[in-house]
Chains A and B, each alone.
Chain A
Amino acid sequence: MKKFFVTLLALALALSLTAVAVAETVTLKVWGSQEDQAMLQEMVEAFKAANPDKTYDITFGVVGEPDAKTRYLEDPAAAADVFAFPNDQLYDLLAADALYEVTRNKDAIVAANSAGAIEAASAHGQLYAYPMTADNGYFLYYDKSVISEEQVQTLDGILAAAQAAGKKFFMDLSNGWYIASFFLGAGGKLGLDENGAQTADFNNERGVLAGEAIKALAAHEAFLTGDDAILTGGMGDTIAAGVSGTWNADAIKEKLGENYAATKLPTFTLGDEQAQMGSFAGFKLVGVNTMTAFPEDAMAVAEWLTNEENQVKRFELRAMGPSNVNAAASEAVQANIALAALAAQSQFAVSQKDVLGGYWTPAEAFGATMEAKDYTKDVKTLLDEMVAAITAK
């Protein structure tokens, strides 16, 4: 009903104003997580200063990237005009036609960002969002005093070194995101068929070998699972190495002190060969809401927030890894241990874009079964069930 009143009022206003030409104020809302608010404001002030010919009224709302999709779908009309989200939400947002295609300055944006980032922000041959960071992936943290640079190359070496020191190797196997590294390392593929439905081949011959490797790891005495809290709590004390992402870098650095080290994921024993563990490469993107009243201006803001200068700023203030090629090549970024490890891992990483929502629960179920050492069904059967559940409509 309020809408109705407002419409009436707006109509009346519009009629009365047609005679008088007034400079239009561009009203926009930007979403970002709370810790980014100050930084965002700074960036937007700079944007306004760079565009003095227009009047902007830009407000901010607190919605972190992980919540963007949920909050958007609840009420697209009230959602921000410009918002950041992780790239695994892209397809769900596109299903709601939530994002404007990036059509203005497209070539410059494509050229400025890494190919992986552009690929992650694209679908059906269209670019749908502006890459913001390239750090939403995982790699290996380890304690230099326990594991040597040589041992850290293989999973077996890490486990042996940890066990010898009475410590553990940490990996959250009951989590679809992490456990995929084995299947991806074995050459497994998650894709989409022509109807846009999920396909998966994790139950083929090599997939089963990867499953056996997971089983062996879960049963290993030096293996430890749990959530991030276990890793950050135990690193240095009871844990010698663990798989995680940049968001834990500060905590782990604090715990390990000068023994802090990070590198790409190790190789693992797949049948009788050594295979490099794969991973998902995740990016954070900035999108422009299709419900916005000022698409061109919103796009300008989105582009501004993700340009080279601001990606550098993001790295300096918040240690977020840039997707911008120039920013990523800077010495400061290269010197960051966690980001360097992520970059090393990225050549073995695949885009997370073709992974639909149905993948996570079954994959986690397989991991949980292995962690619980519940061997009532063999690995092949479990993987068949997992793939059936992943591909279920």
Chain B
Amino acid sequence: MKQKRALRQPHAMLACVLGLLAPLALLLPWIRQGGGSLGGLGLLTASPQVLALRPLAFFGALGFLFSLYALFSKNRNAMRGLAAAAAAGVLAAVYALLTAKATADASLTLAEPFFVSHLGPGLWAFGLLALATLVLSLMALRQPVAYVVLSSMAAVWLVPVAWLLLTAFRQEPGAYTPYVLPRGYTLMNFSRLFTETQQFNFPRWYMNTLIVAVITCLVTTTLVLMISYAFSRLRFPSRKTYMNVGLIISMFPGFMSMIAIYHILKAVGLDQSLVSLILVYSGGGALGYFIAKGFFDTIPRSLDEAATIDGASKNLIFWKIILPSSKPIVVYTAITAFIAPWVDFIFVSVIMKDNYQNYTVALGLFRMLEREHIYEYFTRFCAGAVLVALPITLLFIKIQKFYVEGVTGGAVKG
């Protein structure tokens, strides 16, 4: 049975005290209006509601009760309840803050921002106290405080994603709307990508990209592993010079290089083909070998030496020792290589030129943003982007197992 761990004491006490204090913030002034100000209690009973205070007051009271209970019982469950109530309290405070202006007076146009000129210290005090209670109760429970940071960061990271999804399902066309939430929702943006292929042949481009991405991924990963192994494990003349050249050679910025590459590919008859895309993306990706080389350097040399004594060739060592310990870096390389064809829209336009059938999905999507198309196609553009993001996200979820499984494990100590 799992051993029951004791609460961390000073933190628990402090959390309870703050949990008791938080609801008292309701006594402070909350809204300034015409010289005077209104306290939280007054606002609570005001009708119609001037501030979205009821959920806030509810969770404050709940926290108060849990604090009392925890203070006397030293019970883990009471502390859990306090943490939950505090978290809800923080959310309720944020909600109250964001809706303050709308509930108070939606048509209010002010010289100064509303929350400077109209908001009293009550809301701030409550929010901060609830946050502190949350942090302390987590500490008391010996739970990572990181949850708080992680959740707020996750929210920030997901907002643009949510926005993308909303737009992908939005009924009204246009890139810009003078309101935030769509007025209607539809699946048509997705279905029309596949049915109306006259102007933008999305399904075909999607397949092109998928083919290019899969092959590029395989080729690049192989190349990167080959190069990194050679530089990390093999010793040969001028290795250093070779590595230095490899390090800097891809650092020349310029767009003429694309035109040069186009002409080279044309000279060997590969222009405007998917093969040329694969070559170009793999060639570019392979130069990112430095990270993998650094990773190989950390795999203990003693393992190789033992194998060499057993008579293994360099080739065998690569397959039997290095490769099995390199899953994280293989996954990293593979993901990076797989993504490249989905996101490049410049190189592919130089290489494909007028060959519409061989476009990739990124170039096709980018075309939807041209001024003649953007109004009609923007929502479909977002739908297309969702369809692009989907396989990559799924791939990552699938592959995380290997990724997290970790690395050399016990073998490290050799």
Contact = CB atoms under 8 A, between A and B. Distances in A.
A373 interface: no
B177 A233 contact: yes
A63 interface: yes
Contact of A64 (B262, B267, B370): B370
Interface in B327-365: 349-350, 353-356
Interface in B363-396: 367, 370-372, 374-376, 378
B157 to A, nearest CB: 25
A234 interface: yes
B298 interface: no
B174 A251 contact: yes
A43 interface: no
B266 A62 contact: no
B271 interface: yes
Given A62-B354, A66-B370, A230 B375 contact: no
B267 A1 contact: yes
A29 B175 CA distance: 34
B264 to A, nearest CB: 10
Interface centre among A62, A64, A238 (most CB of B within 10 A): A62
Contact of B174 (A29, A31, A66, A233): A233
B355 A61 contact: yes
Interface string A40-65: 00000000000000000000011110
Interface string B187-200: 00000000000111
A229 interface: yes
B267 A3 contact: yes
A363 B198 CA distance: 38
B262 A75 contact: yes
Interface of A is mostly: helix
B266 A78 contact: yes
Contacts of B370: 64, 66
Contacts of A67: 349
B268 interface: yes
A35 B198 CA distance: 8
B353 A71 contact: yes
A228 interface: yes
Contacts of A234: 176, 178
A38 B198 contact: yes
Contact residue range for chain B? 20 to 34
B259 to A, nearest CB: 5
A2 B266 contact: yes
Interface in B117-146: none
A228 B371 contact: yes
B240 interface: no
B19 to A, nearest CB: 46
Given A2-B268, A34-B356, A232-B375, A74 B178 contact: no
A34 B199 contact: yes
Contacts of B376: 251
A75 B349 CA distance: 13
A26 to B, nearest CB: 19
A229 B378 contact: yes
Contacts of B268: 1-2
Given A251-B375, A251-B376, A62 B356 contact: yes
Contacts of B269: 2
B353 A228 contact: no
Contacts of A247: 371-372
B263 interface: yes
Interface string B171-183: 0011111100000
Nearest to B352: A62
A145 B311 CA distance: 90
Interface in A201-234: 226, 228-230, 232-234
A238 B371 CA distance: 21
Contact residue range for chain A? 20 to 34
B174 A75 contact: no
Contact of B375 (A35, A64, A75, A228): A228
A248 interface: yes
Contacts of A80: 354
A237 interface: yes
A146 to B, nearest CB: 15
Contacts of A38: 198
B289 to A, nearest CB: 29
B354 A63 contact: yes
Contacts of B178: 233-234, 237-238
Nearest to B259: A74
Nearest to A255: B174
A230 B176 contact: yes
A229 B355 contact: no
Contacts of B354: 29, 31, 61-63, 71, 80
Nearest to B264: A1
A1 B367 CA distance: 33
A232 B176 contact: yes
A68 to B, nearest CB: 10
B167 to A, nearest CB: 12
A242 to B, nearest CB: 13
Contacts of B271: 78
Contacts of B378: 229
B353 A229 contact: no
Contact of B374 (A63, A64, A226, A228): A228
A3 B266 CA distance: 9
Contacts of B349: 67
A66 B177 CA distance: 27
A88 to B, nearest CB: 15
A238 B176 CA distance: 12
Interface string A235-252: 001100000000110110
B286 to A, nearest CB: 24
Contact of A63 (B200, B267, B353, B375): B353
Given A2-B267, A78-B266, A237-B178, A61 B353 contact: yes
Interface string A73-113: 01100101000000000000000000000000000000000
A9 B372 CA distance: 44
Contacts of A66: 370
B379 to A, nearest CB: 12
A177 to B, nearest CB: 11
A71 B259 CA distance: 10
B375 A229 contact: yes
Given A74-B350, A78-B353, A251-B375, A232 B174 contact: yes
24 contacts: A1-B268, A2-B266, A2-B267, A29-B354, A31-B354, A34-B199, A34-B200, A35-B372, A38-B198, A61-B356, A62-B356, A63-B353, A63-B354, A71-B353, A74-B262, A75-B353, A226-B176, A228-B375, A229-B174, A229-B175, A229-B176, A229-B374, A238-B178, A251-B173
Interface of A: 1-3, 29, 31, 33-35, 38, 61-64, 66-67, 71, 74-75, 78, 80, 226, 228-230, 232-234, 237-238, 247-248, 250-251
Given A64-B370, A232-B175, 12 more contacts: A2-B267, A3-B267, A35-B199, A62-B355, A74-B350, A74-B353, A78-B271, A232-B375, A233-B177, A247-B371, A247-B372, A251-B375
Interface of B: 173-178, 198-200, 259, 262-263, 266-269, 271, 349-350, 353-356, 367, 370-372, 374-376, 378
